[in-house]
Structure 1
Protein backbone atom coordinates (compact mmCIF):
# COMPACT_ATOMS: atom_id res chain seq x y z
CA UNK A 1 0.00 0.00 0.00
CA UNK A 2 2.84 2.42 0.84
CA UNK A 3 4.47 1.71 -2.52
CA UNK A 4 1.12 2.48 -4.10
CA UNK A 5 0.93 5.74 -2.17
CA UNK A 6 4.40 6.85 -3.22
CA UNK A 7 3.83 5.92 -6.85
CA UNK A 8 0.45 7.63 -7.04
CA UNK A 9 1.64 10.77 -5.28
CA UNK A 10 4.80 11.04 -7.36
CA UNK A 11 2.81 10.83 -10.58
CA UNK A 12 0.17 13.26 -9.39
CA UNK A 13 2.26 15.90 -7.64
CA UNK A 14 4.13 16.69 -10.85
CA UNK A 15 0.91 18.09 -12.33
CA UNK A 16 0.65 21.16 -10.14
CA UNK A 17 2.30 21.59 -6.73
CA UNK A 18 2.25 25.35 -7.19
CA UNK A 19 -1.54 25.47 -7.28
CA UNK A 20 -3.24 26.39 -4.03
CA UNK A 21 -6.09 24.18 -2.94
CA UNK A 22 -9.68 25.34 -3.19
CA UNK A 23 -12.30 24.48 -0.61
CA UNK A 24 -12.58 20.73 -0.10
CA UNK A 25 -15.94 19.03 -0.15
CA UNK A 26 -17.06 17.59 3.15
CA UNK A 27 -17.33 14.10 1.62
CA UNK A 28 -13.58 13.99 1.01
CA UNK A 29 -10.81 12.95 3.36
CA UNK A 30 -9.57 16.35 4.57
CA UNK A 31 -6.80 17.97 6.59
CA UNK A 32 -7.81 21.07 8.54
CA UNK A 33 -5.04 23.18 10.16
CA UNK A 34 -5.71 25.29 13.24
CA UNK A 35 -3.16 27.75 11.83
CA UNK A 36 -1.49 28.28 8.47
CA UNK A 37 0.99 30.91 9.63
CA UNK A 38 4.56 30.39 8.44
CA UNK A 39 6.96 29.27 11.18
CA UNK A 40 4.23 28.57 13.75
CA UNK A 41 3.42 25.31 15.50
CA UNK A 42 0.02 23.91 14.61
CA UNK A 43 -2.37 20.99 14.81
CA UNK A 44 -3.67 19.33 11.65
CA UNK A 45 -6.94 17.39 11.94
CA UNK A 46 -7.24 14.50 9.47
CA UNK A 47 -10.93 13.69 8.97
CA UNK A 48 -12.22 10.43 7.47
CA UNK A 49 -15.96 10.87 6.78
CA UNK A 50 -16.88 7.56 5.09
CA UNK A 51 -15.58 4.27 3.74
CA UNK A 52 -14.71 3.15 0.21
CA UNK A 53 -17.92 2.55 -1.76
CA UNK A 54 -19.72 1.39 1.41
CA UNK A 55 -16.76 -0.72 2.58
CA UNK A 56 -15.32 -0.20 6.10
CA UNK A 57 -12.01 1.66 6.49
CA UNK A 58 -9.06 -0.35 7.82
CA UNK A 59 -6.11 2.02 7.32
CA UNK A 60 -5.36 5.67 6.63
CA UNK A 61 -1.87 6.64 5.46
CA UNK A 62 -0.90 10.31 5.20
CA UNK A 63 2.25 11.31 3.31
CA UNK A 64 4.08 14.37 4.65
CA UNK A 65 5.33 17.17 2.35
CA UNK A 66 9.09 17.33 1.99
CA UNK A 67 9.17 20.69 3.82
CA UNK A 68 8.01 18.98 7.03
CA UNK A 69 10.58 17.09 9.08
CA UNK A 70 9.09 16.28 12.50
CA UNK A 71 5.52 15.16 13.19
CA UNK A 72 3.90 14.11 16.48
CA UNK A 73 0.72 12.11 15.81
CA UNK A 74 -1.99 11.81 18.43
CA UNK A 75 -2.88 8.40 19.88
CA UNK A 76 -6.40 7.35 18.95
CA UNK A 77 -7.88 4.58 21.13
CA UNK A 78 -9.41 2.77 18.16
CA UNK A 79 -6.28 2.81 16.01
CA UNK A 80 -2.61 1.81 15.99
CA UNK A 81 -0.32 4.57 14.75
CA UNK A 82 3.11 4.36 13.10
CA UNK A 83 5.59 6.97 11.90
CA UNK A 84 7.42 5.96 8.73
CA UNK A 85 10.91 7.50 8.69
CA UNK A 86 13.31 8.32 5.88
CA UNK A 87 16.90 9.59 5.93
CA UNK A 88 17.61 13.22 5.15
CA UNK A 89 20.22 14.13 2.56
CA UNK A 90 21.61 16.71 4.98
CA UNK A 91 20.99 17.14 8.74
CA UNK A 92 18.47 19.79 9.78
CA UNK A 93 18.68 21.81 13.01
CA UNK A 94 15.94 20.87 15.47
CA UNK A 95 15.86 24.30 17.13
CA UNK A 96 17.13 22.94 20.46
CA UNK A 97 20.82 22.62 19.70
CA UNK A 98 20.51 19.23 18.02
CA UNK A 99 19.93 17.93 14.50
CA UNK A 100 17.46 15.78 12.62
CA UNK A 101 19.09 13.16 10.43
CA UNK A 102 15.78 11.65 9.31
CA UNK A 103 12.25 12.90 8.76
CA UNK A 104 8.72 11.58 9.11
CA UNK A 105 7.65 10.70 5.57
CA UNK A 106 4.29 9.10 6.43
CA UNK A 107 1.93 8.67 9.34
CA UNK A 108 -0.12 5.47 9.19
CA UNK A 109 -3.23 4.78 11.26
CA UNK A 110 -4.45 1.16 11.28
CA UNK A 111 -7.91 0.44 12.68
CA UNK A 112 -8.16 -2.06 15.53
CA UNK A 113 -11.75 -2.56 14.40
CA UNK A 114 -12.70 -1.44 10.86
CA UNK A 115 -14.48 1.92 10.77
CA UNK A 116 -17.91 1.27 9.18
CA UNK A 117 -19.06 3.28 6.21
CA UNK A 118 -21.43 6.01 7.39
CA UNK A 119 -19.30 6.77 10.44
CA UNK A 120 -16.43 9.21 10.75
CA UNK A 121 -13.24 9.54 12.75
CA UNK A 122 -10.41 12.05 13.01
CA UNK A 123 -6.71 12.11 13.88
CA UNK A 124 -4.58 15.06 15.00
CA UNK A 125 -0.99 15.69 13.91
CA UNK A 126 1.24 18.20 15.68
CA UNK A 127 4.00 19.84 13.63
CA UNK A 128 5.75 23.08 12.71
CA UNK A 129 4.42 24.94 9.68
CA UNK A 130 7.28 25.61 7.20
CA UNK A 131 8.81 29.07 7.20
CA UNK A 132 8.07 30.06 3.59
CA UNK A 133 4.75 31.85 3.10
CA UNK A 134 3.01 31.08 -0.17
CA UNK A 135 4.06 27.42 -0.29
CA UNK A 136 1.27 24.92 -0.82
CA UNK A 137 1.51 21.87 1.43
CA UNK A 138 0.06 18.72 -0.12
CA UNK A 139 -0.71 15.62 1.95
CA UNK A 140 -1.43 12.66 -0.40
CA UNK A 141 -3.59 10.26 1.60
CA UNK A 142 -4.56 6.65 0.89
CA UNK A 143 -7.65 5.25 2.58
CA UNK A 144 -7.59 1.45 2.57
CA UNK A 145 -10.84 -0.45 3.14
CA UNK A 146 -11.93 -4.06 3.56
CA UNK A 147 -12.75 -3.95 -0.13
CA UNK A 148 -10.73 -1.57 -2.28
CA UNK A 149 -9.14 1.77 -1.43
CA UNK A 150 -9.51 5.48 -2.14
CA UNK A 151 -6.28 7.27 -3.06
CA UNK A 152 -6.77 10.94 -2.21
CA UNK A 153 -3.70 12.06 -4.15
CA UNK A 154 -4.95 14.14 -7.09
CA UNK A 155 -3.59 17.68 -7.36
CA UNK A 156 -5.13 20.21 -9.76
CA UNK A 157 -3.01 21.34 -12.67
CA UNK A 158 -2.48 25.04 -13.25
CA UNK A 159 -5.79 26.62 -14.14
CA UNK A 160 -7.77 23.56 -13.06
CA UNK A 161 -10.30 23.66 -10.23
CA UNK A 162 -10.02 21.17 -7.39
CA UNK A 163 -13.76 20.61 -7.72
CA UNK A 164 -13.05 18.89 -11.03
CA UNK A 165 -11.07 16.16 -9.27
CA UNK A 166 -12.62 12.94 -8.02
CA UNK A 167 -10.06 12.24 -5.28
CA UNK A 168 -8.27 15.51 -4.40
CA UNK A 169 -5.32 15.39 -2.04
CA UNK A 170 -5.72 17.38 1.19
CA UNK A 171 -3.74 20.62 0.96
CA UNK A 172 -3.46 24.16 2.26
CA UNK A 173 -1.35 27.25 1.62
CA UNK A 174 1.14 28.66 4.13
CA UNK A 175 0.32 32.27 4.99
CA UNK A 176 2.58 35.11 6.12
CA UNK A 177 2.88 36.07 9.75
CA UNK A 178 1.53 39.49 10.79
CA UNK A 179 4.27 42.09 10.36
CA UNK A 180 5.42 44.07 13.40
CA UNK A 181 4.58 47.29 11.55
CA UNK A 182 0.98 46.15 11.07
CA UNK A 183 0.67 45.36 14.78
CA UNK A 184 2.11 48.75 15.73
CA UNK A 185 -0.30 50.51 13.36
CA UNK A 186 -3.21 48.69 14.98
CA UNK A 187 -2.06 49.84 18.44
CA UNK A 188 -1.71 53.44 17.22
CA UNK A 189 -5.22 53.41 15.78
CA UNK A 190 -6.62 52.15 19.08
CA UNK A 191 -4.76 54.89 20.99
CA UNK A 192 -6.04 57.56 18.59
CA UNK A 193 -9.61 56.36 19.07
CA UNK A 194 -9.25 56.59 22.85
CA UNK A 195 -7.82 60.12 22.63
CA UNK A 196 -10.69 61.21 20.37
CA UNK A 197 -13.21 59.88 22.88
CA UNK A 198 -11.46 61.73 25.74
CA UNK A 199 -11.50 65.03 23.82
CA UNK A 200 -15.19 64.67 23.01
CA UNK A 201 -15.98 64.04 26.68
CA UNK A 202 -13.95 67.07 27.77
CA UNK A 203 -15.72 69.30 25.22
CA UNK A 204 -19.08 68.24 26.59
CA UNK A 205 -18.08 69.42 30.09
CA UNK A 206 -16.62 72.83 29.06
CA UNK A 207 -18.66 76.07 29.77
CA UNK A 208 -20.48 77.88 26.96
CA UNK A 209 -18.80 80.71 25.04
CA UNK A 210 -20.54 83.42 27.18
CA UNK A 211 -18.94 82.05 30.35
CA UNK A 212 -22.04 80.38 31.76
CA UNK A 213 -21.84 76.75 32.62
CA UNK A 214 -23.82 74.34 30.48
CA UNK A 215 -26.01 72.52 33.00
CA UNK A 216 -27.76 69.27 32.34
CA UNK A 217 -31.48 68.87 32.94
CA UNK A 218 -30.73 66.74 35.98
CA UNK A 219 -28.16 69.11 37.57
CA UNK A 220 -29.63 72.62 36.99
CA UNK A 221 -32.96 72.71 35.11
CA UNK A 222 -35.08 70.97 37.72
CA UNK A 223 -33.94 72.98 40.84
CA UNK A 224 -34.42 76.37 39.05
CA UNK A 225 -37.95 75.51 38.01
CA UNK A 226 -38.75 74.43 41.54
CA UNK A 227 -37.64 77.75 43.08
CA UNK A 228 -39.63 79.76 40.52
CA UNK A 229 -42.76 77.75 41.28
CA UNK A 230 -42.33 78.28 45.03
CA UNK A 231 -41.86 82.06 44.57
CA UNK A 232 -45.00 82.34 42.44
CA UNK A 233 -46.98 80.35 44.97
CA UNK A 234 -45.86 82.59 47.86
CA UNK A 235 -46.79 85.73 45.93
CA UNK A 236 -50.22 84.33 45.24
CA UNK A 237 -50.80 83.67 48.93
CA UNK A 238 -49.79 87.24 49.87
CA UNK A 239 -52.09 88.78 47.28
CA UNK A 240 -54.96 86.59 48.41
CA UNK A 241 -54.48 87.61 52.06
CA UNK A 242 -54.41 91.33 51.18
CA UNK A 243 -57.67 91.03 49.22
CA UNK A 244 -59.32 89.20 52.10
CA UNK A 245 -58.36 91.92 54.63
CA UNK A 246 -59.66 94.72 52.37
CA UNK A 247 -62.99 92.92 52.04
CA UNK A 248 -63.37 92.62 55.80
CA UNK A 249 -62.68 96.36 56.34
CA UNK A 250 -65.19 97.34 53.70
CA UNK A 251 -67.90 95.24 55.29
CA UNK A 252 -67.10 96.60 58.73
Structure 2
Protein backbone atom coordinates (compact mmCIF):
# COMPACT_ATOMS: atom_id res chain seq x y z
CA UNK A 1 0.00 0.00 0.00
CA UNK A 2 2.80 2.41 0.96
CA UNK A 3 4.72 1.48 -2.20
CA UNK A 4 1.71 2.31 -4.39
CA UNK A 5 1.23 5.64 -2.61
CA UNK A 6 4.89 6.58 -3.14
CA UNK A 7 4.67 5.59 -6.80
CA UNK A 8 1.58 7.77 -7.32
CA UNK A 9 3.33 10.68 -5.56
CA UNK A 10 6.41 10.24 -7.74
CA UNK A 11 4.33 10.23 -10.92
CA UNK A 12 2.43 13.32 -9.79
CA UNK A 13 5.66 15.16 -8.96
CA UNK A 14 7.22 14.15 -12.28
CA UNK A 15 4.13 15.30 -14.18
CA UNK A 16 4.14 18.64 -12.37
CA UNK A 17 7.82 19.16 -13.15
CA UNK A 18 7.32 18.28 -16.82
CA UNK A 19 4.38 20.70 -17.02
CA UNK A 20 6.47 23.44 -15.42
CA UNK A 21 9.28 22.91 -17.93
CA UNK A 22 6.85 23.00 -20.84
CA UNK A 23 5.23 26.19 -19.58
CA UNK A 24 8.51 27.93 -18.75
CA UNK A 25 10.35 26.90 -21.94
CA UNK A 26 9.11 29.57 -24.38
CA UNK A 27 9.47 32.37 -21.81
CA UNK A 28 13.18 31.68 -21.42
CA UNK A 29 13.92 31.35 -25.15
CA UNK A 30 14.12 35.05 -25.96
CA UNK A 31 16.91 37.11 -27.49
CA UNK A 32 19.34 38.22 -24.78
CA UNK A 33 22.71 39.90 -24.24
CA UNK A 34 25.54 38.07 -22.50
CA UNK A 35 27.02 39.13 -20.19
CA UNK A 36 24.06 41.25 -19.07
CA UNK A 37 26.05 43.16 -16.41
CA UNK A 38 29.20 45.24 -16.91
CA UNK A 39 31.07 48.24 -15.52
CA UNK A 40 30.61 51.89 -16.43
CA UNK A 41 33.46 53.35 -18.44
CA UNK A 42 34.76 49.95 -19.54
CA UNK A 43 35.05 48.38 -22.98
CA UNK A 44 33.10 45.15 -23.20
CA UNK A 45 32.47 42.32 -25.59
CA UNK A 46 28.76 41.60 -25.56
CA UNK A 47 27.19 38.61 -27.23
CA UNK A 48 23.70 38.68 -28.72
CA UNK A 49 22.23 35.23 -28.11
CA UNK A 50 19.45 34.30 -30.56
CA UNK A 51 17.43 31.12 -29.91
CA UNK A 52 15.12 29.89 -32.67
CA UNK A 53 11.57 29.52 -31.33
CA UNK A 54 9.84 28.22 -34.45
CA UNK A 55 9.29 24.49 -34.95
CA UNK A 56 9.24 24.81 -38.74
CA UNK A 57 11.04 28.01 -39.79
CA UNK A 58 14.58 29.29 -39.42
CA UNK A 59 15.97 32.69 -38.37
CA UNK A 60 17.61 34.53 -41.26
CA UNK A 61 17.85 38.11 -39.99
CA UNK A 62 18.58 39.72 -36.63
CA UNK A 63 18.53 43.46 -35.95
CA UNK A 64 19.81 44.98 -32.72
CA UNK A 65 19.06 48.59 -31.75
CA UNK A 66 21.57 50.41 -29.54
CA UNK A 67 20.67 53.15 -27.02
CA UNK A 68 20.16 56.51 -28.74
CA UNK A 69 19.80 58.77 -25.69
CA UNK A 70 23.14 57.51 -24.38
CA UNK A 71 25.06 56.57 -27.55
CA UNK A 72 28.14 54.35 -27.29
CA UNK A 73 31.23 55.98 -28.86
CA UNK A 74 32.91 52.81 -30.14
CA UNK A 75 30.99 49.88 -31.68
CA UNK A 76 32.78 47.14 -33.60
CA UNK A 77 31.23 43.97 -35.02
CA UNK A 78 33.02 40.64 -34.97
CA UNK A 79 32.76 38.82 -38.33
CA UNK A 80 30.41 35.83 -38.25
CA UNK A 81 30.72 33.04 -40.81
CA UNK A 82 27.67 32.76 -43.05
CA UNK A 83 26.28 36.13 -42.03
CA UNK A 84 26.84 39.69 -43.23
CA UNK A 85 26.65 42.57 -40.75
CA UNK A 86 25.40 46.04 -41.63
CA UNK A 87 26.10 48.89 -39.23
CA UNK A 88 23.74 51.89 -39.25
CA UNK A 89 25.11 55.25 -38.11
CA UNK A 90 22.87 58.13 -37.13
CA UNK A 91 23.96 61.76 -37.30
CA UNK A 92 22.58 63.81 -34.42
CA UNK A 93 20.90 67.21 -34.95
CA UNK A 94 23.29 68.57 -32.32
CA UNK A 95 26.51 67.14 -30.87
CA UNK A 96 26.00 64.81 -27.90
CA UNK A 97 28.36 64.85 -24.94
CA UNK A 98 29.26 61.35 -23.70
CA UNK A 99 31.78 61.47 -20.87
CA UNK A 100 34.76 63.42 -22.16
CA UNK A 101 33.77 62.85 -25.81
CA UNK A 102 31.60 64.92 -28.11
CA UNK A 103 29.75 62.78 -30.66
CA UNK A 104 28.22 64.08 -33.85
CA UNK A 105 27.13 60.58 -34.90
CA UNK A 106 27.05 57.07 -33.47
CA UNK A 107 26.08 53.51 -34.33
CA UNK A 108 22.39 53.07 -33.57
CA UNK A 109 21.71 49.61 -34.99
CA UNK A 110 23.38 46.46 -36.30
CA UNK A 111 21.70 44.04 -38.70
CA UNK A 112 22.95 40.50 -39.33
CA UNK A 113 21.60 38.83 -42.50
CA UNK A 114 22.14 35.15 -43.30
CA UNK A 115 23.72 34.22 -46.60
CA UNK A 116 21.77 31.90 -48.94
CA UNK A 117 21.41 28.43 -47.42
CA UNK A 118 22.30 29.64 -43.91
CA UNK A 119 19.84 30.00 -41.04
CA UNK A 120 19.31 29.30 -37.34
CA UNK A 121 17.10 26.23 -37.56
CA UNK A 122 14.51 24.77 -35.19
CA UNK A 123 15.98 23.71 -31.83
CA UNK A 124 19.11 25.78 -32.56
CA UNK A 125 20.58 29.07 -31.40
CA UNK A 126 23.43 31.32 -32.49
CA UNK A 127 25.47 34.18 -31.03
CA UNK A 128 26.74 37.41 -32.55
CA UNK A 129 29.59 39.32 -30.86
CA UNK A 130 30.04 43.09 -30.63
CA UNK A 131 32.73 45.18 -28.92
CA UNK A 132 31.31 48.32 -27.29
CA UNK A 133 32.67 51.09 -25.11
CA UNK A 134 33.22 53.02 -23.11
CA UNK A 135 29.95 52.01 -21.46
CA UNK A 136 27.72 54.81 -20.14
CA UNK A 137 27.12 55.62 -16.48
CA UNK A 138 25.42 53.13 -14.19
CA UNK A 139 21.88 52.23 -15.20
CA UNK A 140 19.69 49.80 -17.12
CA UNK A 141 19.88 50.01 -20.90
CA UNK A 142 17.60 48.33 -23.43
CA UNK A 143 18.82 46.87 -26.74
CA UNK A 144 15.58 46.08 -28.64
CA UNK A 145 15.96 43.27 -31.18
CA UNK A 146 13.97 42.14 -34.21
CA UNK A 147 14.09 38.50 -35.33
CA UNK A 148 12.99 37.54 -38.86
CA UNK A 149 12.18 33.97 -39.96
CA UNK A 150 12.41 32.50 -43.45
CA UNK A 151 8.63 32.00 -43.53
CA UNK A 152 8.11 35.76 -43.21
CA UNK A 153 7.33 35.92 -39.49
CA UNK A 154 8.87 38.91 -37.68
CA UNK A 155 9.21 38.95 -33.89
CA UNK A 156 10.06 42.18 -32.05
CA UNK A 157 11.85 41.78 -28.73
CA UNK A 158 11.21 45.30 -27.49
CA UNK A 159 9.05 45.26 -24.36
CA UNK A 160 10.43 47.01 -21.28
CA UNK A 161 10.83 44.99 -18.07
CA UNK A 162 8.36 45.64 -15.27
CA UNK A 163 9.83 46.07 -11.80
CA UNK A 164 8.46 43.52 -9.38
CA UNK A 165 6.03 42.31 -12.01
CA UNK A 166 5.66 39.45 -14.44
CA UNK A 167 8.21 39.28 -17.23
CA UNK A 168 6.76 40.59 -20.51
CA UNK A 169 6.11 38.13 -23.31
CA UNK A 170 8.68 39.73 -25.65
CA UNK A 171 11.25 41.44 -23.40
CA UNK A 172 14.00 43.56 -24.92
CA UNK A 173 17.59 42.46 -24.29
CA UNK A 174 18.94 44.35 -21.28
CA UNK A 175 22.42 45.45 -20.27
CA UNK A 176 22.86 46.44 -16.63
CA UNK A 177 25.76 48.86 -16.16
CA UNK A 178 27.16 49.15 -12.63
CA UNK A 179 29.39 51.86 -11.21
CA UNK A 180 33.14 51.28 -11.26
CA UNK A 181 34.71 50.81 -7.78
CA UNK A 182 36.23 53.90 -6.18
CA UNK A 183 40.04 54.26 -6.02
CA UNK A 184 40.15 53.68 -2.26
CA UNK A 185 38.16 50.45 -2.71
CA UNK A 186 40.61 49.29 -5.37
CA UNK A 187 43.56 50.15 -3.09
CA UNK A 188 41.92 48.30 -0.19
CA UNK A 189 41.47 45.18 -2.33
CA UNK A 190 45.09 45.46 -3.50
CA UNK A 191 46.33 45.83 0.11
CA UNK A 192 44.29 42.81 1.20
CA UNK A 193 45.69 40.76 -1.67
CA UNK A 194 49.26 41.86 -0.77
CA UNK A 195 48.73 41.00 2.91
CA UNK A 196 47.29 37.61 1.99
CA UNK A 197 50.28 36.96 -0.28
CA UNK A 198 52.71 37.90 2.51
CA UNK A 199 50.90 35.60 4.95
CA UNK A 200 51.14 32.77 2.44
CA UNK A 201 54.88 33.43 1.99
CA UNK A 202 55.41 33.47 5.77
CA UNK A 203 53.51 30.21 6.17
CA UNK A 204 55.50 28.62 3.36
CA UNK A 205 58.76 29.85 4.94
CA UNK A 206 57.79 28.46 8.32
CA UNK A 207 56.91 25.15 6.78
CA UNK A 208 60.21 25.13 4.89
CA UNK A 209 62.12 25.96 8.12
CA UNK A 210 60.40 23.08 9.89
CA UNK A 211 61.46 20.75 7.12
CA UNK A 212 65.07 22.00 7.38
CA UNK A 213 65.07 21.37 11.17
CA UNK A 214 63.74 17.88 10.64
CA UNK A 215 66.45 17.20 8.06
CA UNK A 216 69.14 18.50 10.43
CA UNK A 217 67.88 16.33 13.28
CA UNK A 218 67.84 13.30 11.04
CA UNK A 219 71.41 14.07 9.91
CA UNK A 220 72.67 14.37 13.50
CA UNK A 221 70.95 11.12 14.49
CA UNK A 222 72.44 9.24 11.54
CA UNK A 223 75.88 10.70 12.33
CA UNK A 224 75.61 9.51 15.93
CA UNK A 225 74.75 6.00 14.82
CA UNK A 226 77.75 5.96 12.48
CA UNK A 227 80.12 7.13 15.25
CA UNK A 228 78.66 4.58 17.69
CA UNK A 229 79.11 1.80 15.18
CA UNK A 230 82.70 2.85 14.60
CA UNK A 231 83.39 2.82 18.36
CA UNK A 232 82.03 -0.68 18.70
CA UNK A 233 84.24 -1.81 15.86
CA UNK A 234 87.39 -0.34 17.53
CA UNK A 235 86.49 -1.94 20.86
CA UNK A 236 85.98 -5.34 19.29
CA UNK A 237 89.36 -5.13 17.52
CA UNK A 238 91.14 -4.25 20.76
CA UNK A 239 89.48 -7.15 22.58
CA UNK A 240 90.66 -9.60 19.91
CA UNK A 241 94.26 -8.33 20.19
CA UNK A 242 94.19 -8.73 23.99
CA UNK A 243 92.92 -12.29 23.76
CA UNK A 244 95.55 -13.10 21.20
- Displacement of 1:152 in angstroms is 2.1
Aligned length: 211
In 2, Cα distance between the equivalents of 1:35 and 1:158? Answer: 17
Partner of 1:6 in structure 2?
A: none
Matched, 1:216 2:216: yes
The higher radius of gyration belongs to: 1
- Change in Cα spacing, 1:118 to 1:218, as seen in structure 2 (3 Å) is same
- Change in Cα spacing, 1:99 to 1:237, as seen in structure 2 (3 Å) is same
In 1, Cα distance between the equivalents of 2:137 and 2:125? Answer: 33
- Change in Cα spacing, 1:78 to 1:191, as seen in structure 2 (3 Å) is closer
- Change in Cα spacing, 1:205 to 1:52, as seen in structure 2 (3 Å) is closer
- The answer (yes or no) to whether the contact 1:34–1:43 under 8 Å persists in 2 is no
In 1, Cα distance between the equivalents of 2:125 and 2:64? Answer: 17
Q: Secondary structure at the match of 2:180?
A: coil
- The answer (yes or no) to whether the contact 1:65–1:138 under 8 Å persists in 2 is yes
- The answer (yes or no) to whether the contact 2:88–2:110 under 8 Å persists in 1 is yes
Within 5 Å, give how 1:1-252 maps onto structure 2.
Answer: 27-33=29-35, 36-66=38-68, 67-70=70-73, 71-88=75-92, 90-92=94-96, 99-113=102-116, 114-115=118-119, 116-133=121-138, 135-147=139-151, 148-160=153-165, 164-178=167-181, 179=183, 180-190=186-196, 192-193=198-199, 196-197=202-203, 200=206, 216-242=216-242, 244-245=243-244
TM-score by length of 2: 0.69
- Displacement of 1:51 in angstroms is 4.8
- Structure 2 unmatched runs, 5+: 1-26
- Displacement of 1:216 in angstroms is 1.8
In 2, Cα distance between the equivalents of 1:143 and 1:126? Answer: 21
TM-score by length of 1: 0.67
- The answer (yes or no) to whether the contact 1:30–1:170 under 8 Å persists in 2 is yes
Give CA-to-partner distance per residue, 1:39-71, whole Å, 9 cap, x none: 111111112232534311121111112323332
- The answer (yes or no) to whether the contact 1:129–1:174 under 8 Å persists in 2 is no
- Displacement of 1:146 in angstroms is 2.2
Q: CA RMSD in A?
A: 3.5
Larger helix fraction of residues: 2
In 2, Cα distance between the equivalents of 1:98 and 1:36? Answer: 20
In 2, Cα distance between the equivalents of 1:117 and 1:129? Answer: 36
Partner of 2:17 in structure 1?
A: none
In 1, Cα distance between the equivalents of 2:122 and 2:241? Answer: 102
In 1, Cα distance between the equivalents of 2:240 and 2:141? Answer: 98
